[in-house]
Amino acid sequence: MPETDSAAPRNTPLAAVLGWPIAHSRSPRLHGHWLQRYGISGHYVPLPVMPEHLAEVLRAMPRMGFVGANVTIPHKESVLALADVVTDRAALIGAANTLIFRPDGKIHADNTDGYGFIANIRQMAPDWIPDLGPAAVIGAGGAARAVVASLLESGVPELRIANRTRIRAEQIKAEFGAKVVVYDWAQAGNMLEGALTVVNATSMGMAGKEALRVPLDALSPDALATDLVYTPLMTPFLVEAQARGCRVVDGLGMLLHQAAPGFERWFGRRPEVDEALRAAVLA
């Protein structure tokens, strides 16, 4: 194969996050913290890429010394069609967030959101046992699909889901199988009865948006409640769940943990998710 068709020589490894817009991404700060902490001479940069330019940019990146990238809104779905190899979980979720540019020039696409979701809970609530009872997922968007995949993989016996737009929840049931039970949005509160893991996977409760309005009367104090929203860290949903006696896990850890597999593949070191990282990303 001619030299020009393979990736550029890899001296200082480069990685990036591609999105449109990208200014608010916390990923550069996150990876920057790890690079500095482990003394790795690499760089991680935010790249604003318009959807119509994504294919062209991805093709050029390996030749520029990039070893991989994260992709975020609006590229997480469209990148699947541009990758040469798509992992099973990325295909099942229908989106990718982590790309590896292999030495042979091929683009490998994976989705680590579900991994990040579970790793966050396991770190913050080590005695959480998903198999012991049903999980309830509020929301059925892109992030919810990663959560559903990872909860089912973790062994939840039943996965209840409700979404404002019911068809999206029905679609998840059709794709993820018999353990998924769809509840009507108007009855989302009912699915909390007996649930041991409860997840807000909607964008409700985010700063500037309205709070989640699902009634929590049926929420058991034995349940673990977690939220994908991390601005604020304690969303109205988590505040109320905590007041009801539930263990709560905020959503920042999911962002931190989903980044670790990519960092390891690109820069050769498994990074730690700890308080120093949380503080750096929140700063």
Given the rule CB under 6 A, which residues bind ligand ATR? 139-144, 163-165, 168, 202-204
Q: Which residue number has the CB closest to ligand ATR?
A: 141
Integer CA distances (angstroms), 258 to 63, 203, 254, 262, 273, in order: 26, 18, 6, 8, 10
Q: What share of the chain is helix, strand, coil (3-state, %, to 5)?
A: 40, 20, 40
d(CA 272, CA 34) in angstroms, rounded, equals 8
15 or 188: CB nearest ligand ATR: 188
The C-alpha angle 250, 222, 171, rounded to 5 degrees, equals: 65
**Cβ atoms of 16 and 66 closer than 8 Å:** yes
Shortest CB 94 distance to ligand ATR, Å = 10
Shortest CB 271 distance to ligand ATR, Å = 24
42 or 189: CB nearest ligand ATR: 189
**Cβ atoms of 266 and 38 closer than 8 Å:** no
Classified as helix, coil or strand, 160 is strand
198 or 204: CB nearest ligand ATR: 204
Shortest CB 139 distance to ligand ATR, Å = 3
Classified as helix, coil or strand, 198 is strand
Shortest CB 187 distance to ligand ATR, Å = 14
- Contacts of residue 92, defined as CB under 8 A and 6 or more positions apart, other chains included, come to 149, 175, 176
d(CA 246, CA 145) in angstroms, rounded, equals 24
d(CA 230, CA 202) in angstroms, rounded, equals 12
HEC string of 69-122 equals EEECCCCCCCHHHHCCEECHHHHHHCCCCEEEECCCCCEEEECCHHHHHHHHHH
Residue 52, judged by CB atoms within 10 A of its CB (0-12, 13-18, 19+), counts as exposed
Shortest CB 218 distance to ligand ATR, Å = 19
Residue 209 a catalytic site member: no
Catalytic residue among 76, 106, 179, 209: 76
Shortest CB 138 distance to ligand ATR, Å = 8
Residues recognised as catalytic: 76
